[in-house]
Structure 1
Amino acid sequence: MDSRPDASPSPPIVDRLRGKRFGVVLSAGFFGFYGHAGFLKALHAAGLEPSAWAGSSAGGLIAAHAAAGSSVGEIEALLRKQTRRHFWDPDPVGTLIDAVKGGHAFSGLLKGDRFRALIESSLPVRRFEDCRTPLLLVATNLSRARSQVFTSGELSPAVHATCAYPGLFRAVRLGGDLFWDGGIVDKAPLVALAESEPGGNLDAFLVHYLPSRTRDRLSGALAYAQGLDAGLTAGRHEHFVLQLKVMQARGVPVYVITSRLPPVSPKTMEREGMLAMDAAEASVARALSSAPVPFV
């Protein structure tokens, strides 16, 4: 900010968005559901109401609930009562049988049946078209080696697909194609939302970005996989940076709030998830009341 005495202070993000039609983009992030729920709490407290939602992976799940009409309190309550048993359904015998038959079960530890049931029981609507606010989700189409945008049709299968984290969940079959986590190819689908039909009517975009965790060094039997993961993390980060440059060239305001939160995993979700939610709420509240900062 200009330090000259007559320089006007830069308006905070909340003032820049108030009264505007803006879209929210929630990034992928391993078990980032809790962090995005904290974002929603801060957004609601600031009195801001998005005109469109988009998300990948964990961001897609929370965006879907918000767009479908779930209140902030309902989303928080849903997450607070979750335990690993609500979605944990490994099937080692079935996986081996499927592999012999040439199936795709070895693509993930969990069948995903319990997770799909959880999605279907918690979403207040069945189809994208029934959402209160326009919604866009991104998943990775493994059969066609590209990203795929979902804006219409059955909602639960698309949410399942965008959340199918590689190795944890089996790939999800939709319409003959196999899908994995949307965060593989588009961590925060900013341009996808901007180029969608509802995106053309928006004045600005607000992104809640959860950085992927990286290791200081590669070690052990999984060093090869760790290296691939680090490379993927770098690629996804640079892809989002390019999206920001595209939007800047188009003259469209984009405000990115980055939350660096405590790690959450299936084993720690009941305790660490709540800590991440609270940390995100505080982080986002501070960011909304401050001037925008460059994304790095």
Structure 2
Amino acid sequence: MINVIKMDIYRMIHARSTYYTLIGLALFLIFLITNSHDTLLDVQQGRPIATASVGIGFNASLLSDNMTLLNFFQLFAGSKSFILMLSIFSVLFINHEEASGFSKNIAGQVQKRGWLFFSKFICQSVFILACFFVGIVVSFLAGGISYDSVVIGNVGRLIMAVGLQFLFHLAFAGILLLIITLIKQPVISLLISILLCFGAFSFLYQLLDKWLISLFKLTNFTIENYTMTGLIPQVSIQSNTSQLIGGLAIAAIYCLVTVGLSVSIKNKRDI
């Protein structure tokens, strides 16, 4: 199993798609920094801020003339930029193996084929850390151009924020792994993943909310609070203890269920 993980990480490091996706992330974050500074100017000058229910957005309350790395990191994570690039990487990296026949060649060398997908989950976790690193570097380099200054700030709180979002993004990686496992069609998998990131399923959540509220007589209930695309922008280290514990518990459940199902399906399915 360890050898399979080492092999997959080696392939990921030497795959051009990995670096293309990270470069795309860097360019996207530079655009986001510029756009966020324009938003800050609008706020300071009293101009209305355009909002959209579907798409990439960010928390304007994090903006100031003198930004910290923590503010930038929370801005990027809350905008769902990292999970967007994670979606692209996951589909390209995992489906490429299926299409190239690599899985068939290596399946006979492991006791359980499902461990091949657990190895992909490890690669996803490494890619998440790479995305976070790119985000922090871009914050420091590009942020200083648009904003008056960028300071490192409280390193301890930055590490806590990175750790919290890492767990949340791991849970989303598990969801992506399950989608790819079930569908096996890269275009459809990528489409669903991107639609998730852009909040295109909000209308479905609203329908489910109405049905569950009427069925169980619930109050102030929304299913989006229990999805990773809802938790990632909403829960941060500034959240209260109950929100943090609830968010971490939900993320842990997603990880266990999605990865467990992916491994089980891979074990039972013919290659």
Normalised by the size of structure 1, how large is the TM-score? 0.26
Normalised by the size of structure 2, how large is the TM-score? 0.27
Compare the two structures and name the one with the higher strand fraction: 1
